[in-house]
Structure formats: C-alpha cells, structure tokens
Structure 1
Amino acid sequence: MGNSKLFTPVTFGPLTLRNRTIRSAAFESMCPGNAPSDMLLDYHRSVAAGGIGMTTVAYAAVTRSGLSFDRQLWMRPEIIPGLRKLTDAIHAEGAATGIQLGHCGNMSHKSICGCTPVGASGGFNLYSPTFVRGLRADELPEMARAYGRSVNLAREAGFDAVEIHAGHGYLISQFLSPSTNHRKDEFGGSLQNRMRFMDMVMEEVMKAAGSDMAVLVKMNMRDGFRGGMEMDETMQVAKRLEQSGAHGLVLSGGFVSKAPMYVMRGEMPIRSMTHYMTCWWLKYGVRMAGKWMIPAVPFKEAYFLEDALKFRAELKMPLIYVGGLVSRSKIDEVLDDGFDAVQMARALLNEPGFVNRMRDEENARCNCRHSNYCIARMYSIEMACHQHLGEELPACLKREIERIEAKG
C-alpha cells in the first residue's frame, strides 16, 4: 500500500489531478431538453465528494446533428450558465472536471437530431431505422470547427479538460473504420485517408484548447467485430494522436451499433431495457431480437488490459486505462503497469464514494454485480444502479437481474 501510485497527483497537459482516478464519460441520460439538469449536477457532485480526481460529463454533441438521444447534452451558448453551476459544484468538492465532446454520425434519427442523420458514408441505419447521408468533403471543415467551438464553450463553462470521442462507432470512428467508411474521395480508402477527418478535428481542438485546457481522446484499440479496425491500424491512429499533441489517450474498444457489449462486457438485460422504452414497435422488436442484436461478451475484471499493454509499450504519451475496474488491487496493478490514470463508471454509479473507501481499505472492492441494469435503462431514462432505486422493481426485472448476476 505504501508505494501505491493511486493517490499521487498526475498531470495531463496544463491540468494536474489530485489522484489518478477519473469518472469515465458513461452516458448519464440526465439532460432533458439537451441541457444540464439538477440531477446531473447532484450525480457528478456526489462522485466529486467521493474522492475522484476528475469527473467527466458524458457525451455533449458538438452540433445538433450529433445528438443520438433526446436526453443528451448539446453544446451551445444557452446551456453555459447551467454547466457553470455544475463545474462550480464539482470544483467545490476538490475534483477537476472534464466534458466529452462528440458527434454520433449515423447513430441518430431525424426526430432527435432534426435532420437526416449524416455519417462518413450514406446507407441505412437499422438501429434507428433511418436512411443516412454521407457528408460531402466540403462540409467537413465546418464540422471540424464545431469541435473547436465546443472546446471554447467548455472553457467558458468552467471545464478543465475535454475528451474528444474518436471511438465506439461515432462520427470520427465512422471515418476511421473501413467497415463504415466506403468513401471514394481523399477521406476514404487508405488508413492515411481515413484519418484525415480526425486530423482536421484535432487541429481545431488543439488550437481552441490553447495552453489552459487539457485534451484527452477516447479511441478504439479494436472495433470488436469482423471487418472492423484491428490493432495494426489503431496503433497508427494512436501514434497520429500522439503527434497531434493530445495530452492523453483513453484506450477503449467496441462499436455501439455492432458490438455494444464489447465496450461494456457482460450481458444486456433485454427485459429491463424494453421495460422503459415508450415506442411500442421498438419495445417488441428489441424484446424479440435483442439477444441476437446485442450478443453477450463475458465480463472479466480489467478486460481491456491485455490490449492496452501493447499500446503502453509503443507510446510515450500519457495513457488512461478504462474497462472493468472494480477493485483497489486491480487498479494498483494497472497503475504499476505504467498507465497514468484509470477511468471507471459503473463502479462509481454503484458507489460514488468508492475512491474515498479505497484510500482506507487496501482490499476495497465495489459492490457492482455486473447485471448492466444501469445501461439497460439509460436508453430511455436516467442511468441508475438497481441497488439504489427508490422504486420497487417489477418481479420480471428482478428475476432477470438475479439470473444475470448469478452467472457472473
């Protein structure tokens, strides 16, 4: 315990955190009207009070077309005062605060984003059922500038860091991955071409971040399905991000549209997920086809570590480990392996004070039992852990959760 790095400060660019823990940008679904709510503030304040080094507000779309849910943040001047209240509350608890900026690309629907969804290439998105339009090359500089503008808004709102989302099958990732990029112009084909849009975004982001904002980038080490990116290419993406001046990389994997449980591991509780859905045909469609649409991937602690260690060996820049951390001993092991910080989400939803408890207990382990109920409900209502619900769960959902937890 004496030589643990966990409670030592760590620096990313201009930002120093009080310890090496970061609340990862897991979608909270607490932003009705695409604006911050008291619920969002209370949740992040509780994590900050629980000892975290930095808490990250999830997924703020850089343009309206980048929204994938109607309870998601959209970065625009009107919401800055609300975000300022949130960052002030987090800073008052001694934690730093970051915000994840992204664009969902084709993972949306006109009813949410107000237009025909856009992506690296046109086509049909089965999950929203909707047609998607490929972005024209002349639209890309403006899209990249939207990321830069969002960085400036984040600064105005009091954030210390931004996390650019370049993974999980969202827009930047749709350009990078050969499975979603079928372009015939200079933005498609070779990996060099597929990285061009990311390069444009990073140039705008680093310019906007200047010398006082930390820039982290979340990226995929593997897309997690056949035909997606593998490590030979993602390693080159990481090296390009290192060259671009990013202050740290968050190493993740998976595609929300094709391999969602590769990102989160475990099984998706389909009954729970459909229970909260309001759209009747989607409810029944997912209930019938859910097991096939969202295949389970076994959970194991620190499930991305083996891949992440290969990136650690090749890169000099700060790296942040994310994926399946629930115990103090595993977190110490990851930090000893040379990662600069760790990110967690489900552990902190289960126990916002987990970081403080780790300070006192060498064998601290959070009580998350990996039913993924929290994820199942966030598609419709706010993310919450079933162990802390105010309301009583219907018997069918309880049974489902017990069955999944018993497997774990």
Structure 2
Amino acid sequence: MIKYQNVLNPLKVKNMILKNRIVMPPMGTNYAGQNGEINEEHIKYYEQRAKGGTGLIILENVCIDFPLGSNGTTQLRMDHDSFIPALYKLNERLHKHGANVAVQINHSGASAVSERIGCQPVSASNIPSKTGGAVPRPLEKSAILDIVEKYGKAAKRVQTAGFDAVEIHAGHSYLICQFLSPLYNNRTDEFGGSVENRARFARMVIDSVREAVGPMFPIILRFSADELLEGGNTLEDTLKILEYLNDEVDIFDVSAAVNDSLYYQIDNMNLKDGWRSYMSKAVRDKFNKPTITTGNIRNPEVAEKILAEGEADLIGMGRGLIAEPNWVKKVQSGQEDMLRKCISCNIGCAGHRIGLNRPIRCTVNPDTITEDVYKKQKVKKKTNVVVIGGGTAGLEAACTAAELGCTTFLFEQKSYLGGLAKEISKLPDKQRISDFPKYLVNRTERLDNLTIFTNTKADAKLVQNLSPDIIVNATGSKPLLPPIKGLLERIDKEGEKLYSIFGLLNNIDEFENLNVEGKKVAVIGGGAVGLDVVEYFAQKGATVSIVEMLPMLGRDLDVITKISMMDIIKKYNVDVNTSTALVEVASDHFKVKKGEEEVTIEFDYGFVCLGMRPENPGLKELQEHFGEKNVEVINIGDSARTRKIMDGVREGREITLALEKIDAI
C-alpha cells in the first residue's frame, strides 16, 4: 500500500490531469528580465521543481496591463504577444518532466509602486492598499471595462503559450481584491456597496477569461478567504461573495490575508502546518469543487491528513518547494528524512523580493536555480578537508566536500551539532528552525567519507595529523558584550537575573515553567534577537520594555517578521525606547540615556541582546601554522562576520571554489 496515497493520487480537472496533489503556487522571484521576459535562469528555477515531481506549477503572477498593473521590481508580462514564444519554451521544458503548468494573471492596482510605474496607481477607490501606501486614483467605468478586456486577451495568450490552466488573482490586496474588499472599496456605483456590486468586476473578469479560453480550459481563482483584519472580509463574507463568482471557476485556490496582515499570507514561522485548511474545507463543502490549501505545509503526514479528511483536494507548497524542489520525489521514494524543509524564516524569499528588491534566495537551499548541479563535479585527486565547527555553515561545507568525494573530517567542541540554529530553535515560536540542522545531520549520516568528532576542540596540531588540503573554520559567534559598567560582572552569573540570549536558551526549561505574568522584563537591543526575547516574554504575560540605540526597531528583520513583531509590540503594550543607549547595569535595573536624560528601567529579569560577534580563537594559529604548507584555510559563516544563517550556508556550499583553487575539481 502506498504510504501517502492521497498525496500521490492523480486528479482530473476539465482537460488537465495532475499526476499528484502537490501544487507550487505562484510566488514572485525577481528573476524576470528588465522588460518582463522570461530567461534561461528563470526557466531552470521552475524546471527544478518539475524534475522534483511537482504535479502542478503555477507560474508567478504576470502583468496584464503594463506598466499600470505591474507588481514587483521585475515582473513577467502577458500584455503583448511578444512574450508568448519564451513562455512556450518554458512549458515545453516543464512538460517533459510530467508537470502541468498554469500561470497567474494579475493587475496590481493600488499595490503598484508609483516610482516604478511612473504614474499614480489605480484602484476601486482612493484608499491605499497598505498602511503608508500611495493614494490611488479610482477607476472610471470605461477603464474598468478596458481592464476586463485585457484579462481576456492575456488569458488567450496563456492558452497559446501552452499552459494547462490559468489562475485569476482576486486576493492579497491586488486590484480584484480592492473591489471585493470593504477595506478598499467605498464606491457608490454598480461596483461598490453590496456584495453583488463589489463582486461585479471579478465576475466580469471571469467571464472575459472563459470566453477567451473556451469551455474545457481550467480556470483557477485565487482569493483571500479571510482578510484577517478588522473591517475586512471574513470567511463567512467570502463564502457569500463566491456565490457570485462560482460559475466558470474550476478550482478555488484558497489563500488568506491582505497587505497589512501579510504575515498570515506569507506565513509566520510559528503558524502550524496547514493552519488555514479549515478555510478551504468551508469553500469545498459549500461549492463541491476542488480546492487548493496552503499554509506552512512541510510534512507529508500533514498533507496526507488534509486530503484524507476532505479539507482540500490539492496542497499548495510555495516556499517549501523553493527550499526543497524534490519534495514529491523524496516522499515517493521514502526519503522523508532527507526533506530539506522550509523553516518559514522569510529572509531570502519574501525578505529579498518585497523588502530589498533583490532576486529571491533561500536560507536552507544555497542554490535555488540549479540546486544539485554541484554534485556532478568530483575531485580528481585525493583531497582531505577538515571543517572546524558543526553549525549550519560548517555542516554544509562538510557535506558538500564529502559529496564531491573529499575525505572529510568535522570537529565540534560541543556534544551536539547544529550550532546557533539548534540553540535558537529552543524558543517555542522558533521551533521550526530545528528542521534545518536535523536535515544536515541526516545528510552527514549518508556520507561514508565524512567523519565527525563531537566534544573535540581542534587545534593546529590535531588538524596537522589529518594532512589537510583545505581547512574550513566555521566556529560561529558569541554575544557582543561591550564594557558597560556592571554588565560583564553580572550577565549570566549565578544569583543574578541578567541574561544574554545564550543565558536564556541554556535555561529555557526553567523559564518555560516560570510564571512571569506581571513581572518586569527589560530587553536591551531591538534587533532580531532582542525582539525574539520580547515576543517570548510578552506572550507569557510579562510587562516588557525594550531599549534600542537606533531610532527604529528591527532594522535587520525581513519585512514579514517586522510587521508581525510590530503587531506583537502593539498588542502587548511593550514599552519601546528607541534612540536610547545603555550606560549602566545593576542587579535589578538598567540605566539608559535618552537624549540628554538618564532614565532607570527596572526589571525582574533583564536581557542584553546587542548582537553577536565572530568567535574564531584558533583561526590565527591555523593560518600561521599552515600558511607555508600550501594548505587553503578559509573562514566562513559567523566566525568571519555575523550575519544570517543563509549567508553561512551559502559560504559552506562555496567550498567548491576552494577546491577549484587547488585544482581538485
């Protein structure tokens, strides 16, 4: 009997037959060319997911009305026939691997950025699509009809380009959503007011698309089932709206949230696998049509349960397939322990694309374009690699070296592997991070030419015995503790109530069992680590204060986490002190300077989270000892410069460059 029978079961919708129930939903990449064309790198990205067994790939949203309706720094376009040939090539490549391919057509409306499109965005009304967004121009009826026609023309190009289905985006604060949602629509004509009127534009778009593609071409409708904001559409509201949109829709792609509730759309790390499947079940039960559900689904057991219990017909796995293109293939072949699960950190994907206008990257997958192509290289001579440090950067370097045929040794001073990623995952809301070091450790266990020594401090003499050709120093970081009066003699000391992040993590079991309701917790440092501490104690009922020297909190956070953290600060009435510096530490209070004024912040538990600094005590000895021995010594990850997990993992994979340098590959 097949273990995940429902996940791997085919599904026929109109003239489209899906070989399994796993869907890659549309996610922007910033991989497109400057003029909106698809390129070879972009095709390879999707081809990896097709090779990995994905049943349906829905191409990221394409612009149907350029530049007015464009979204993102670079976005694929479908507003002209000139884009058809390259997209046809994409479909040829993906179809070879048995994947079906759809594409999402979209008009961004008020979510367009004025500076990018060169004019004022448009919308249902003059209401911005997010807090602080541009004020849009309300569309006149003639312009609405023109956009409806453009949707139909774009859909015809979709069909001509060889796609198997078309998806209409009616959620996530884009133009159709701006008509559907009372958050954005205050019109008084036939496109505003009642549910039927607010649904009119979407109805006209669906009809235009159906007329263009004919009766047997599947139409998917994506929408925000619950906008999860006060005054927005609830699930019950959306079910009423869909009564007007049901005809001619073949699959409902059930999403959630809008721009100001973005962390429910691009799910926060602490949201459980499949948390929003109840929404797709409600739609499925009412309309008896196939539904797609999404929401942090990483584990095949969860996907199987959702399908078996009738909560959805298809499982959307977005960031999960960025991290693990071979999800289906590994599940089919019983390699679940080798699933490189997305940890929902949102740094390389949403953070890069939305926050920084960069092409997407991934914390756990150092190559989202060609993934395992590095394995085709093999060392052409005996090569010994020694890695010092068993965190995520060191583990990636060691695994990569061993996979290329190097005789590899890894030393870790602690009794366990995983480094800071394993440590930080002790926080309840960060538990998902632990999936990554688990995967790396599982990967090491499949490599016979990789030997691991824990509880072992490596020095130059020990390393010399292994005749290394390459030495990788990946010894990580430790908390930055400046010489502030009273700090060093109190922090993490017995009898004191002052902790670094490691002090908290090392005593997490005690804090989990501690009633801190009403207790005063003060946190110095408003970066990622400090805000993690704020989140932890605020949710446990403590009265929390935070101090940050910069004029803002969360400067180093990705956009999703930042929005979420600011909501937590507001929800739990956290006392925020920005542009404030720590000047002295006592056993029960901090002295801080706010402008010219010194202020005392009392605490029952104090935390100093001023960032991390590289920890590489043996690096100089290694460099001096092996400097004249023709041995390549490289320093990676936090031991080189404290950054994100993503940076260290990428540098771990880049051991291939060191192997090239010594002519080993």
Who is 1:73 aligned against? 76
Deviations 1:94-142 (A, max 9, x none): 1111101111110112332243200010245666753310101222111
User: 2:114, 2:120 within 8 Å by CA — same for their partners in 1?
Assistant: yes
What are the residue-to-residue correspondences of 1:137-286 with 2, within 5 Å?
137-242=141-246, 244-255=247-258, 257-266=259-268
Are 2:353 and 1:378 equivalent residues in the alignment? yes
Q: 1:181 to 1:129 in 2, by over 3 A?
A: closer
For residues 302-332 of structure 1, the C-alpha deviation after alignment (integer angstroms, 9 at most, x for no partner) is: 0111232222222211111222210111111
**Inter-partner Cα distance in structure 2 for 1:126 and 1:311:** 27
Q: What are the superposed Cα offsets for residues 231-258 of structure 1, whole Å, 9 maximum, x if unpaired?
A: 221002233332x211110111100x21
Could you tell me which of 353, 363, 366 is aligned with 1:389? 366
Rounded Cα–Cα distance in structure 2 between residues aligned with 1:403 and 1:238? 43
Alignment-derived partner of residue 119 in structure 1: 123
Shift of 1:390: 6.2
Structure 2 distance, partners of 1:399, 1:222, is 36
Q: Which of residues 270, 281, 286 is equivalent to 1:314?
A: 286
Is 1:121–1:182's contact at 8 Å kept on the other side of the alignment?
yes
Amino acid at match of 1:250: D
Give the direction of change, closer, same or farther, for the CA distance of 1:114–1:160 in structure 2 (3 Å limit): farther
Contact in 1 for aligned 2:129/2:178 (Cα 8 Å): no
User: For residues 390 and 147 of structure 1, do their structure 2 counterparts lie closer, same or farther at Cα, with a shift above 3 Å needed?
Assistant: closer
Residues 1:340 and 2:342 aligned together:
no
- Which has the larger helix fraction? 1
Query: Does the aligned pair in 2 maintain the 1:23–1:348 contact within 8 Å?
Result: yes
Matched with 1:282 is none
Counterparts in 2 of 1:82 and 1:401: CA distance versus 1, 3 Å:
farther
Matched, 1:30 2:31: yes
The superposition leaves residues 250-270 of structure 1 with CA deviations (integer Å, 9 ceiling, x where unpaired) of 111100x21111112216xxx
- Cα RMSD (Å): 2.4
Task: After TM superposition, give the deviation of residue 70 of structure 1 in Å.
Answer: 2.5
Which stretch has the larger CA shift, 127-136 or 51-60? 127-136
- Partner of residue 278, structure 1: none
Within 2, Cα distance between the matches of 1:386 and 1:312? 34
1:51 aligned partner: 53
Query: Is the contact between residue 226 and residue 234 of structure 2 (CA under 8 Å) also seen in structure 1?
Result: yes
Residue 13 of structure 2: aligned partner:
12
Shift of 1:387: 2.1
The equivalent of 2:138 in structure 1 is: 134
8 Å CA contact 1:177, 1:228 repeated in 2: yes
Equivalent runs, 1:293-308 vs 2, <5 Å: 298-308=270-280
In the aligned structure 1, how far is the partner of 2:209 from the partner of 2:271?
34
In the aligned structure 1, how far is the partner of 2:341 from the partner of 2:128?
40
Partners of 2:171 and 2:288 lie apart in 1 by 21
Is the 1:371–1:405 contact (alpha carbons within 8 Å) kept by the matching residues of 2?
A: no
Per the TM alignment, residue 348 of structure 1 is displaced from its structure 2 partner at its CA by: 0.7
SS at the partner of 2:62?
strand
Q: Kindly indicate whether the alpha-carbon contact (under 8 Å) linking 2:131 and 2:260 is maintained by their aligned counterparts in 1.
A: no
Change (3 A) 1:129 1:223: closer
* Residue 204 to residue 89, structure 1, CA distance change in 2 (3 Å): same
Give TM-score, length-normalised by structure 1. Answer: 0.85
Aligned equivalents of 1:390, 1:254: Cα separation in 2: 30
Given the alignment, which residue of 279, 295, 305 partners 1:323?
A: 295
The secondary structure found in structure 2 opposite 1:381 is coil
2:61 partner SS: strand
Larger Rg: 2
2:281 maps to a residue whose letter is L
User: Per-residue deviation at 1:371?
Assistant: 1.1
SS of aligned partner of 1:46: helix
CA drift of 1:214 comes to: 1.3
Matched residue type, 2:31 = M
Distance 1:139 1:405 in 2: 54
AA aligned to 2:61 is Y
Name the SS of the counterpart of 1:130 in structure 2: coil
Displacement after TM superposition at 1:400 (Å): 10
Size of the aligned set, in residue pairs, is 372
- Single out whichever of 303-312 and 93-102 deviates more from structure 2: 303-312
CA–CA separation in structure 1 for the residues paired with 2:425 and 2:317: 21
Query: What residue identity is the alignment partner of 2:60?
Result: A
Structure 2: stretches of 5+ with no match in the other structure: 369-391, 394-418, 432-665
Query: Could you tell me whether the CA contact under 8 Å between 1:107 and 1:128 is conserved in 2?
Result: no
User: Matched residue of 2:59: which SS?
Assistant: strand
Q: d(CA) in 2 for partners of 1:405 and 1:198?
A: 46
1:356 counterpart (320, 329, 337):
329
Structure 1 residue 25: deviation in Å? 0.6
Task: Quote the Cα distance in structure 2 between the aligned partners of 1:307 and 1:366.
Answer: 27
Aligned partner of 2:98 among 86, 94, 100: 94
Q: Does the 8 Å CA contact 2:324/2:365 hold for their aligned counterparts? A: no
